[in-house]
Amino acid sequence: MQEELLIAFRASTFKLEYMTNDRIDAMGGSHGTLNIATLSVMDLCVEEFLKGIDFKLSFKNTKELDLDRVIKRLLEVTDYYKVDRSNAALIIALVLYFMGIDTRAGVPAGNRKLGALCRIAAGVPRGGMVTFTSPKLGNKVSAFPALMAVYEELLKNGLAKVKGKNIPFGTIGTLYMHSVLGEDIVLPEIIIKGTEIAVKAIYDSMNGIGMMMYNGMADKISAALLGSGVMLEIVHPDANVRYDNDYIPSSHLVGKIAARTVGLPEKIHLNVTDKEFDTGQIIGDIALILKDSGTPTVICMMGLCDLFAMFKEWLVWTGGPTITPIASLGGEAWIAMQLLLENEGDVEEVSHSIMSMRNNWFDPEISKISLNIIASKAQEYYKGPVTTSLLLSTEGVKIKAVYTRALKAYSMFSEGKGIEEIVKYFEDVRKEKVEESSSQFCSKYFGRKIKVKLLRVEPLGRIAKKGEGIGKFWSLDPDIDVRVEIDDMVYVLERLCEICIPKVAMGEYDDPDYKIAVESASIFIQELSYSGVVLFNVTVPLCVGVAMKKGEPRDLSEGATKAAYISGNIPGTLLKCSNVSKVARELTVQIGKDGF
């Protein structure tokens, strides 16, 4: 038995691409994601900081700071991953910001801003907020509605009581924007009125284009950031303005009003440490970076939104409780980076601190292995303290996941069961685990006693004929029935995606509990739909079967793929199974020949 278990572990983890149905190697070239490049940027940043490099953004009278040289090195990292340089500049600026680097220094001559510093180093032109897009929440919008709404108000009514033609001749610079007229009277009024208009325009546009408006708070964060960026293009970004009997940077007031407009919490807290942040300041600081940036793509803006997963307030779905596509990073890396700076790079201590972050996810095991895969991929290029801490916090989970599946598969094969029955057993276990955990989450979220159960899942055959091409994969064209109990009521939601979800979206229902039932079923299915991020339910029993010589690798691979009704929900499972089975067969031959 020991030989078979060892073969199963080594074969199923022989390559990272064998562990997931996602295109992990393509991700290393920044296709569809920037999370791996971001991890390498973090690794290098922390290492440089721990060496004593001066990261401070200062008002120093010199052509180049140490920070400039660090940014150039970081651009070499992003170039390795073929990251678009506008995206690279924004990633680097955000990582440096959350390392504690100021967003600005100095007024006026020699003024430095973090966003501009990174953009200029990257050699890309400033695009302006009108070129920015929101993250993709189904659909997406640009910042244009905010720009249009603010300028329409400017032309119609103006934003300030003080009119430009009435300002005394010679009142410029210090006498205006760094004195009572500008910082106490004009700017506060413009910022409060204009930011509300800008942010609301983005939010209303997102609603009008059919974007998901309850994706944690991603919709609110996106509207706040884009609207704030537009306002910081208009108002003086370096003033200290009067607000609530105090003086704060103009960017912070913009962020504060933006956060208030969309209903974000006033304070947010870092996971693990509970460190408190002012939401308005973060929104304003990031918006200041954005308005000085190039033309980042939607993938970069999705990564920007994802970083809010580091906070406890459940701002985005990438912070749990459902697993996310392997293209998302989650909050652990951002937290690990900050903890490493505080404890002088103690990787072991950091790994212990972040180890429990995904314990309350629907499937903690799968979500932690997914993070392990991402960190492992980043370490193929650069082995640094951030990725090492992520690996240390998840490696044991991965080992145990393979071991327990291999042991159970060996037992079931020994009882005479076949590969399809065994793989289906593991798939059923995951389904039941998610049924229970999503029921608990929905019960707490909706304040009702809710229980969900999957009745049927298969391809609908709407786009392609069932069993042909993408018609084999239910995640690309789902036909799903779910049973939902709410207190003493039972809802059997037949054809959830074809009938029930469109019915709710179009308001074609009278029973408010029907909407809760559909939303509970959707949350549950969302988790199942990303099951392919980890293929151990399929590949581990397959490798055990090959090692035990329970059939030809090709036949076992086909049987395992056929039974993978959850994990095999996107294309690629059969190819992964075929490759893994070949490795298992080769290891079986070698070990059988030479023994231990």
Looking at residues 439-459, what average pLDDT do you find?
96
Of the chain, the percentage scoring pLDDT greater than 70 comes to 98
pLDDT tens digits for range 549-586: 999 999 999 999 999 999 999 899 999 999 999 999 99
CA-nearest of 515, 498, 495 to 507 is 515
End-to-end CA distance of the chain: 13
Report how far residue 460's alpha carbon sits from residue 529's, in angstroms, rounded to the nearest whole number: 15
Q: What's the token pair of residue 62?
A: 């010199």
Residue 172 pLDDT greater than 60, yes or no: yes
pLDDT tens digits, 2-13: 899 999 999 999
Burial class (CB in 10 A: 0-12, 13-18, 19+), 351: buried
| Mean pLDDT calculated for residue range 37-52 | 94
Count the residues in the chain: 596
Euclidean distance between CA atoms 90 and 266, whole angstroms? 25
> How far apart (Å, rounded) are the C-alpha atoms in residues 169 and 259?
37
Peptide bond into 321 cis (omega under 30): yes
Looking at residue 460, its pLDDT comes to 83
Q: How far is CA 59 from the centre of its chain?
A: 34
Reported as type and span, the H/E element at residue 278 is: strand 276-278
Domain boundaries, the chain: 1-21+362-596, 27-122, 129-291
User: Taking 70 as the threshold, does the pLDDT of residue 320 lie above it?
Assistant: yes
458, 479 Cβ separation under 8 angstroms: yes
In the three-class reduction of DSSP (H, G, I as helix; E, B as strand; rest coil), residue 138 is classed as: coil
Neighbours of 153 (CB within 10 A): 16
Write the CB contacts of 18 (distance below 8 Å, at least 6 apart in sequence). Answer: 11, 12, 535, 539, 576, 579, 580, 583
Q: What is the pLDDT of residue 62?
A: 78
Instruction: Please give the pLDDT value at position 214.
Output: 65
Please state the rounded mean pLDDT for residues 406-412.
97
Whether 464 shows a pLDDT value over 80: the answer reads no
Q: Assign residue 83 a region: left if phi > 0, alpha if psi is -120 to 50, beta otherwise?
A: beta
pLDDT band at residue 340 using 50, 70 and 90 as cut-offs: very high
Asked if pLDDT for residue 396 goes beyond 90, the answer is yes
Residue 458 exposed, middle or buried by CB count within 10 Å (0-12, 13-18, 19+): middle
Task: Note whether 384 and 43 are within 8 A (CB).
Answer: yes
In the sheet with 450-459, reading across from the earlier edge strand, the strands are 450-459, 478-486, 489-493
The band of 593, judged by pLDDT with boundaries at 50, 70 and 90, is: low
Residue type, position 426, single letter: F
Burial 306-328 (b: 16+ CB within 10 A, else e): bbbbbbebebbbbbbbbbbbbbb
For residue 108, whether the previous peptide bond is cis, meaning omega lies within 30 degrees of 0, is: yes
Measuring CA to CA, which residue among 136, 297, 116 is closest to residue 215?
A: 136
Extended beta strands in 79-137, E state: 104-105, 112-113
Answer whether residue 596 shows pLDDT above 70.
Answer: no
Positive or negative: CA dihedral 129, 324, 327, 570: negative
The pLDDT of 437-455, averaged and rounded, is 96
d(CA 542, CA 577): 8
The pLDDT score that the predictor gives to residue 480 is 96
Distance between CA atoms of 383 and 423, rounded to whole angstroms? Answer: 35
- With cut-offs at 50, 70 and 90, classify the pLDDT of residue 595: low
The answer, yes or no, to whether residue 326 has pLDDT greater than 90, is no
CB 527 within 8 A of CB 363: yes
Residue 321's pLDDT band, with cuts at 50, 70 and 90, is confident
What pLDDT does 468 receive? 73
Could you tell me the CA-to-CA distances from 180 to 157, 185, 240 in Å, in that order?
23, 7, 10
Task: Please report the pLDDT score of residue 215 as a whole number.
Answer: 57
The tens digit of pLDDT for each residue in 503-550 reads 999 999 999 999 999 999 999 999 999 999 999 999 999 999 999 999
Residue 100 has pLDDT above 60, yes or no: yes
Rounded CA-CA distance 23/21 in Å is 7
How would residue 135 be classed by pLDDT, with cut points 50, 70 and 90? confident
Q: Is residue 110 pLDDT above 90, yes or no? A: no
57: pLDDT confidence band, cut at 50, 70 and 90? confident
Per-residue pLDDT, averaged over 100-108, amounts to: 82
Query: CB neighbours of 38 closer than 8 A, spacing ≥ 6?
Result: 91, 95, 303, 329, 333
Nearest to 199 by CA among 312, 309, 280, 139: 280
**pLDDT band at 264, cuts 50/70/90?**
very high
The answer on pLDDT for 89 being more than 70 is yes
Q: What is the mean pLDDT of the chain?
A: 92
CA-angle at 478, arms to 515 and 218, nearest 5°: 55
Residue 594 pLDDT exceeds 60? no
